Amino acid sequence: MPRTDFDPIAIRKEFPALDQTVNGKPLIYLDSAATSQKPRAVLDALDAYYERDNANVHRGIHELSRRATIAYEDARGRVGSWINAVEPSEIIWTRGTTEAINLVAMAWGLDNVGKGDEILLSVLEHHSNIIPWQLLAKRTGAKLRYIELDEQGRLILDDLDSLLSRRTKIVAISHVSNALGTINPVKRITEAAHAVGAIVVVDGAQGAVHTKVDVQDLGVDFYAFSGHKMCGPTGIGVLWGRRALLDAMSPYQGGGEMIHFVGREESTWASVPHKFEAGTPNIAGAIGMGAAVDFLSEIGMDAIAVHERDLMAYAIEKVGAIPGLTIYGPTSLDERSAVLSFSLGDAHPHDISTILDSDGIAVRAGHHCAQLVMKHFGVAATARASFYLYNTKDDVDRLVDGLEQVRTIFA
Amino acid sequence: MDTPQLSSLYQQLILEHYRNPRNKAELKEKTVEIHMANPVCGDEIRLQLRIEGDHIAEAKFVGQGCSISQAAISMMTTLLQGRKLDEADALAKRFTEMMHGDEDASKDKALGDLRALKGVSKFPVRIKCALLGFDALQEALKKDGAGETH
């Protein structure tokens, strides 16, 4: 049940790491697009598992193994319901979004992509949604094609039909850009991709974090996301896939847990999802991610989205008014998420970040693992402030003060 | 709000080198070129040297990056013109000592304008910015020395 009112100041108190000073100033954490902070509820779930239930899953007859298995599988079910999966077995635990995308590239790609086939990406992608496809293309002789960006960092979809053909086997696209915050029209792209028989793989690392994701409504075939960006632990993520596709796929890695019968030359595989979960999984991570889903559900994804939209409107107005400051990405709030990528005069983003850090303000500086995006805008790097449910308008005011100091130093 | 540490980091001399970098141009008669990048942040430079016998006849660079990396390499190339190879190597070592907080090194006149970068040692995550140019220099000296004994 969602809470009745949304109070970011009360929410902030549930995050122990946010209650500290950095360089003598109260911490203002504006780097949630890199990784979010963790609420007490998630930290407690990790402790409870290690302190009481720690045992390997699906292997033991004893009580602790039973408890660990229940907690682990229960988390799978909750994450599945949260994104409207048909059944829990469509949720495959991975190390994160990156491993989930690599899994599709190898386990689906190697069996279904051949010489002359095409994989359609966009210039907006994070390296984790480019490099796995480059590796697949090298091994299969497939060709990569790219959807280009307009001057606001939005996908140019006018010529989408000409980019797609019967040769297109995979369309891999991010739900939300980590570098600019652009929200992509995934449904529209999916309809066009399906019309030519391609599958659609979505990098949801920045998507599931901020909005309610309904994989049925999106209509996609695979959706990948990470625990650590949505209040969960590091080292755990999810690949959701359609059951029929997962059933038909070869395993990704071999080892314990993923087998049925093992012979000297040949073996048979466990059913989905275990077929894709070789070795002892990140049990605590999965349980922590389940707790993160509970936490976010209780607050309500819609309330989080409304809060972030308000915050972004305020940030764009206040930060955008600083002389010499350029904001990258879509101008319309309907098309952007809680990411503010910017540059300020001739101050390099590193210098901006160092000066802000001396004020206790954490922002990211660099290419954000999106070098194609940086090239598009003709910059080597940008500074990026990213917001989440625990940020407030006061945080934006502090950021503005910090940026004024950057202007003074680089006057 | 300006802290003493921050003012010592962003001295006017550093910002002046950042905005008006010395020796920033392609060197046509280069004998050695080293491409050095910091993939984490995107800073990158190509250091180009014309080495004649036992000394650096000319040093230039091209590239882009933050004020610290660009100022450091501007100052470094200024000091390298006509410098003997073993002197250049000693300079790199001395500068590295200063980055690791060595007070004596930070007062060493041999470092010239580079002494203005002393404050970087208080910002551990920025030290690699300051060292980018010298890392390239040391690679260049190694490459030039390969197969010979100095």
Identify whether B38 is part of a domain: yes
CA-based nearest residue to A231, from A390, A52, A49, A347: A390
Does residue A261 share a domain with residue A177? Answer: yes
A409 contacts on B by Cβ (under 8 Å): 2, 6, 10, 15
From residue A259, alpha-carbon distances to A61, A253, A256, A266 in Å are 19, 11, 6, 11
CATH number at B28 reads 3.90.1010.10
Question: DSSP string of A333-358?
Answer: GGGB-SEEEEEETTB-HHHHHHHHHT
pLDDT in tens, B48-101: 999 999 999 999 999 999 999 999 999 999 999 999 999 999 999 999 999 999
Catalytic annotation present for A231: no
Secondary structure tally for chain A: helices H, strands E: 15, 17
Instruction: Give the domain CATH number at A72.
Output: 3.40.640.10
Helix, strand, coil content of chain A in percent (nearest 5): 45, 20, 40
d(CA A402, CA A409): 11
Residue among B2, B40, B66 whose CB faces A348 most closely:
B66
Same domain, A294 and A304: no
Task: Indicate whether A3 belongs to any domain.
Answer: no
How far is B70 from B37, CA to CA, in rounded Å? 12
Let me know whether A291 and A307 are in one domain. Answer: no
Q: Is residue A227 part of a domain?
A: yes
Query: Taking each helix axis from N to C terminus, what angle separates A393-409 and A349-357, rounded to the nearest 10 degrees?
Result: 120
Residue A362 lies in a domain: yes
In a shared domain, residues A250 and A367 = no
Residue A332 DSSP symbol:
S
For chain A, the domain total comes to 2
* Domain membership flag for residue A35: no
The Cα of B54 is separated from the nearest Cα of chain A by a number of Å equal to 36
CATH label of the domain that carries residue A327: 3.90.1150.10
Decide which of A268, A298, A328 is a domain's last residue: A298
Shortest Cα–Cα distance, B26 to chain A (Å)? 20
Residue B150 lies in a domain: no
Q: pLDDT band for position B12 (50/70/90)? A: very high
Q: How far is B12 from chain A (nearest CA, A)?
A: 9
Q: Within 13 A of B110's CA, how many CA atoms are on the CB side?
A: 15
| CB pairs A-B closer than 8 Å | 56
How far away is chain A from the Cα of B92, in angstroms, using its nearest Cα?
Answer: 23
Both A135 and A284 in one domain: the answer is yes
Residues A147, A120: Cα–Cα separation, whole Å: 7
Q: What is the domain count for chain B?
A: 1
> Per-residue pLDDT for chain A (411 aa), expressed as one digit of tens each?
567 789 999 999 999 999 999 999 999 999 999 999 999 999 999 999 999 999 999 877 899 999 999 999 999 999 999 999 999 999 999 999 999 999 999 999 999 999 999 999 999 999 999 999 999 999 999 999 999 999 999 999 998 999 999 999 999 999 999 999 999 999 999 999 999 999 999 999 999 999 999 999 999 999 999 999 999 999 999 999 999 999 999 999 999 889 889 999 999 999 999 999 999 999 999 999 999 999 999 999 999 999 999 999 999 999 999 999 999 999 999 999 999 999 999 999 999 999 999 999 999 998 889 999 999 999 989 999 999 999 999 999 999 999 999 999 998
Check: CB of residue A188 under 8 Å from CB of residue A156: no
A132 and A113 within one domain: yes
Query: pLDDT digit string (tens) for A68-90?
Result: 999 999 999 999 999 999 999 99
Strand partners, A11: none
Residue A73 lies in a domain: yes
**Residue contact B41–A401, C-beta within 8 A:** no
The answer to the question of residue A37 being in a domain is no
Contact criterion met (CB < 8 Å) for B129 and A355: no
**Tokens 């949260």 belong to which residue?**
A82
Check CB contact under 8 Å for B42 and A359: no
With H, G, I as helix, E, B as strand and everything else as coil, classify residue A269: strand
Tokens for A390, please give them: 């625990």
State the pLDDT at residue B146: 67
Partner-chain contact A409 B6, CB within 8 Å: yes
Neighbouring C-beta atoms of residue A41, cutoff 10 Å: 15
Position B38 scores a pLDDT of 85
Chain A residue closest in CA terms to B5:
A358
Residue B15 lies in a domain: yes
Q: Which domain holds residue A316?
A: 8-30+300-405
Contact A373, A177 (CB under 8 A): yes
CB neighbours of A209 closer than 8 A, spacing ≥ 6? A32, A36, A176, A225, A229, A230, A388
Contact by Cβ (8 Å): A90, A80 = yes
Domain end residue (candidates: A249, A276, A298) = A298
Tokens standing for A118?
């095409």
Neighbours of B83 (CB within 10 A): 16
Shared-domain flag, residues A123 and A207: yes
Count the alpha carbons within 13 Å of A280 in the hemisphere toward its beta carbon: 10
Report the length, in residues, of chain A. Answer: 411
Predicted ipTM > 0.90: no
Q: Which residue among B15, B43, B126 sits closest to A410, beta carbon to beta carbon?
A: B15
Residues of B in contact with A350 (CB under 8 A): 41, 43, 65-68, 126, 129
Same domain, A184 and A88: yes
Q: Is there a single domain that holds both residue A288 and residue A310? A: no
Task: Please give the helix or strand (H or E) that residue A28 lies within, else none.
Answer: strand A28-29
**Subunit contact B66:A380, Cβ cutoff 8 A:** no
From the CA of B43, how many Å to the nearest CA of chain A? 8
Number of CB atoms found within 10 A of residue A217's CB:
11
Q: Which residues of A touch B6 (CB under 8 A)?
A: 354-355, 358, 409
- In chain B, the residue whose alpha carbon lies closest to the alpha carbon of A404 is B1
How far, in Å, CA of A244 to CA of A40, rounded? 38
Q: What angle do CA B145, B134, B99 make, to 5 degrees?
A: 135
Q: Are residues A263 and A327 in the same domain?
A: no
Same domain, A186 and A331: no
Cβ of A350 within 8 Å of Cβ of B43? The answer is yes
- Decide if A304 is inside a domain: yes
Tokens, residue A137: 């293309």
Helices and strands in chain B: count of H runs, count of E runs: 6, 3
Domain boundary among A298, A332, A364: A298
Contacts A405 to B, Cβ<8 Å: 1-2
Q: Which residues of B touch A (CB under 8 A)?
A: 1-3, 5-6, 9-10, 15, 19, 40-44, 64-68, 123, 125-126, 129
Helix (H, G, I), strand (E, B) or coil at A312: helix
Residue B92 belongs to domain spanning: 4-145
A83 lies in some domain: yes
Residue A410: list chain B partners with CB under 8 A. Answer: 10, 15
SS3 of A357-394: HCCCEECEEECCCCHHHHHHHCCCCEEEEECCCCCCHH
State whether A93 and A145 are in the same domain.
yes
User: Are A89 and A95 a contacting pair, CB within 8 Å?
Assistant: no
Q: Which residue of A has its CA nearest to B120?
A: A354
User: And the tokens for B74?
Assistant: 């501007």
Q: B19–A366: do the CB atoms touch at under 8 Å? A: no
Instruction: Find the catalytic residue in A369, A371, A379, A410.
Output: A369
Q: Which residue of A has its CA nearest to B38?
A: A366
Whether B2 sits inside 8 A of A350 (CB atoms) is no
Token pair 């040093």: residue:
B59
The string of pLDDT tens digits covering residues B30-42 is 999 999 998 777 7
Look at A351 and B66 and tell me if their CB atoms are within 8 Å.
yes
SS3 state at A285: helix
Å from A366 to nearest chain B CA?
5
Among the partner-chain residues A351, A405, A410, the one whose CB lies closest to the CB of B2 is A405
Q: Rounded to the nearest 5°, which phi and psi values hold at A344?
A: -140, 105
Check A351 against B123: CB less than 8 A apart: no
